[in-house]
Structures are given as structure tokens and as C-alpha cells.
Amino acid sequence: MDRAPSIVAAAATPEPVVLPAARPLLTRAGWTAFLVALVTVCALAPVLNLVVPADSPFHMGEYAVALIARIMCYAICALAMDLIWGYTGILSLGHGLFFALGGYAMGMYLMRQIGRDGNYKSDLPDFMVFLDWKALPWHWTFSDSFVATCLLVVLVPAAVAFVFGFFAFRSRIKGVYFSIITQALTYAAMLLFFRNETGFGGNNGFTDFKRILGVPLQTPSMRMTLFVFTGLTLLGFFLLARWLVTAKFGRVLQAIRDAETRVMFSGYNPVGYKLAIWTLSAVMCGVAGALYVPQVGIINPGEMSPANSIEIAVWAAVGGRATLIGPIVGAFLVSGAKSWLTVSAPEYWLYFLGGLFIVVTLFLPDGLVGLARRLRLAGAAALEAKAP
């Protein structure tokens, strides 16, 4: 008789919840690939460009340096897109706006660095002299400070993204409606920046940059310095993104992507999570734009065109969403193909881009990285089936 209560109590005692083991930031193969990329960016590329003679077949020319650096900037944007689209399920068609905002913030500083070396020998930028401006507008106040410019590169895209995201996510706008609104936002900003009275150079934007931190931009050493810094930024953002998606924060993001209503019933507020990752992705694009401008030498409202924002989504889709490495691969493949096709067959480039997006959507929903993963698993299964 005395054993019955103990049996009931034992049956009522819940079993302890066993949480899954924390995933490593990178596997051994992942760390090996990361170190190879780090050595390539910081040591191999500078040696091939600055040390190896120009007549050597192993010399890395200035065109290759500029092209790879530009694609690395694009890869940062693709990585940002993967965080919000691949892991959170938010498709943005307006991330070109944040890229351009970071680029304009850096462009304003570079224009002030020209000093009196412009065509009009004035302290004002040439386009302001041409438009008969007498003084700098208020939003150019801190444009002569590199530290203030670096802060603006981060804060301006973050502020725009936070305000827009707060109202959009609080109103529970999602899906295709959110994508259309983001595209409308970047298109409206492009029309605004085209206007001369805004003080952003109008249709021509900013160009003819001379120096950064007092050092000429056109020297091989400065170009390679920007190349290395861009590569380190890309690798740093990759580690940050990897850390986020493997942590509890990343698991909540994926739960929001798959079943947002259930996440709300579980006691989580999706608005805060979506707003945080949305703002971070905007900052990443802003930093990419700031690195892009001094290496390309120009920034104009065309960077805000809807086509540019759609292209960022194409990079993520082609490489493979929710993989982190996939969008980087997609940015290199698609941008490299674009650089080749716009020279050899410029009239067919847009057809190629559209056809590629359709093929990936219909036949490769997991992108190229997902295809490689399936082939690897199929090969392993075949070997296992053949084993005695």
C-alpha cells in the first residue's frame, strides 16, 4: 500500500530536457578553407601584385585586383541577403539602397579630400561650384573627418533600416508585399538623389577622387591595401554571420522563417529578431558600399536602381540560400560572368541573368552549393551500397 504513491510520483516526474550540443563555429575543413582564404587575401595576392614582375605569367594585374575587390564587396551584400532571406525568410528587393548610402557617405569624404585640386580650384566640390553653391549644405558638416565618415557609414544605413523595418514588421507586412515596398523605397531614394538640389551630385554623383587619409588612391600599394581590407571585412562578416546562425539567435530566426505563428505562441516576439537582423544586414551593405567607392572611383544614383537590388537576390539564390558560403560563391560566379559577358556580348547579359534566375528557381532551389551537397550525399550512398 505504501508503494503506490511513490510509483505515481515517479511516473509524474518529467524526464530532464536534453538540449542539443552547441555546434562548432566551423568544422576542421571549414577552418582550413578559411585560413587558405585568409592567406590568399593577406599574403598571396599582395605578393603576386606588388612583388612578382609585370611580365611574369603569375603577376596579378591591376585589372584583376580591381575586379576581385569589387566582387568581394558584392559578396558582402550577398552574405547580408542570405541572413535575412535564407535564414529569416525576408526577401528584400531594396538592399541596393543601403549599399549606396554607405557609398555616398564615403564619397562625401573623398570629395572633401580633393581639396583645391579640382577643376575650379575651390574648397567646395566641383559640382557645387558649377551649380553656384556658396557653402556646404548641413549634411556635409562632418564629411572632412574620416572617423565621422566611418560612423556615418554604419549609422545612416542602420537608422534608415531600423525606422523602415520597425513600421513594416510591426504592421506584419511580409512576403511579396514587403519585397515590393522595399523596391519602392530604393526607387524613391534613387529619384531623390538624382535631384541637384539635394547636394549629392545629381545624375553624375561623385567621382574624380584623389586621395584617402592623405594618401593617393591610384598608387598600387593603396589599391592593394584596400583589396586586403575588403577581403578581411568579408571574412570577418562571414565569421560573424556563422556565429549568429549557429547560436540560439539563429535558431529563432530559422523558426521565424519556417513557422512565425508558432514562434509567437512559444513566447517570442518576432519583431525584435527580424528588426535586429534586418538592421545588421543593412549595415553590412553600407560597409560594402563604403569599400566599393574608393576602389571603383565613382558613386551615383544608379547604384540604387531596382535592378541592382534584384541582382543581390540573384547572387544568393544562385549560390544557395541558408548556406552563407553559397551567396559568396554566387556573387563571384554571376559577377565574373557579368564582367565577361558585358565585354564580349553586352546585348545578351540581361537575358543570361534572367534565364539563370529562372533555371535556379525551377531546377536548383538550393542553389549550386545545395546541388554539390546532394551530389556528395548521393555519391556517399552509392559507395555505401557497393560496400560488402
**pLDDT tens-digit readout, 57-72:** 999 999 999 999 999 9
Instruction: State the pLDDT at residue 1.
Output: 46
Radius of gyration of the chain (CA): 25
Helix (H) or strand (E) holding 211: strand 211-212
Helix (H) or strand (E) holding 383: helix 367-386
DSSP structure class, residue 89:
-
d(Cα 81, Cα 64) in Å, to the nearest integer? 25
SS3 label, residue 317: helix
Cell 551593405 sits on residue: 285
* Measured torsion, CA atoms of residues 50, 211, 208, 291, in degrees rounded to the nearest 10: 70
Whether the CB-CB separation of 189 and 98 falls below 8 Å is answered with no
Instruction: Kindly tell me if the per-residue pLDDT of 213 is higher than 70.
Output: yes
Lowest-pLDDT choice from 5-9, 151-155, 183-187: 5-9
pLDDT band at 384 (very low <50, low <70, confident <90, very high): confident
> What backbone phi and psi angles, to 5 degrees, belong to 267?
100, 5
125 CB neighbour count, 10 Å cutoff: 25
Lowest-pLDDT choice from 1-5, 155-159, 225-229, 302-306: 1-5
DSSP state string for 15-67: PPP-PPPPPPSS-HHHHHHHHHHHHIIIIIHHIIIIIS-TTSTT---HHHHHH
Lowest-pLDDT choice from 115-119, 148-152, 178-182, 262-266: 115-119
Average pLDDT over residues 30-35: 95
Lowest-pLDDT choice from 13-27, 131-145, 329-343, 344-358: 13-27
Instruction: State the pLDDT at residue 19.
Output: 55
d(Cα 322, Cα 370) in Å, to the nearest integer? 10
Instruction: Kindly tell me if the per-residue pLDDT of 195 is higher than 70.
Output: yes
Instruction: Kindly tell me if the per-residue pLDDT of 305 is higher than 50.
Output: yes
Whether the CB-CB separation of 325 and 79 falls below 8 Å is answered with no
pLDDT band at 361 (very low <50, low <70, confident <90, very high): confident
d(Cα 352, Cα 372) in Å, to the nearest integer? 22
**Which range has highest mean pLDDT (6-10, 132-136, 181-185, 384-388)?**
181-185
More confident residue, 12 or 372: 372
pTM summary value: 0.92
Give me the helix-helix angle, 146-170 and 175-193, nearest 10°. 140
Instruction: Kindly tell me if the per-residue pLDDT of 386 is higher than 80.
Output: no
User: Mean pLDDT in the chain?
Assistant: 90
